Amino acid sequence: MSTIASLRIGESAIISEESLHNIPLKLLEMGCIPGAEVSLIQIAPFNDPLYININGSHLAIRKEIAAIIKITNDNLNE
């Protein structure tokens, strides 16, 4: 299964239910929850951090955290 870290700039996906226990509480509070649409906006120099859009909110997250948040393209409305 893919993760947020595997997205390419401009790609979108849905955060998988399987990721609920892997997502840090801080990110959950900011809207990074299963079922939310996530898209990669930009990658900083040296590939870390990743700049993402989650349901209209822009967040910068470390690549190591992005690599544990699983995503799916199922039910993605584009």
Tens-digit pLDDT profile for residues 4-47 = 999 999 999 999 988 888 888 998 888 888 989 999 999 999 88
Residue 1: what pLDDT? 73
Confidence band (pLDDT; 50, 70, 90) for 75?
low
Token duo for residue 77: 């409305």
Token pair 């990110």 in the structure block, residue: 27
Q: What is the pLDDT of residue 55?
A: 84
pLDDT recorded at residue 20: 84
Report the C-alpha gap between 28 and 43 in whole angstroms: 21
Residue 71 tokens, joined: 């995503």
- Both tokens assigned to 30: 């900011």
Q: Which helix (H) or strand (E) holds 38?
A: strand 37-43
- Domains of the chain with bracketed CATH: 4-72 (2.30.30.90)
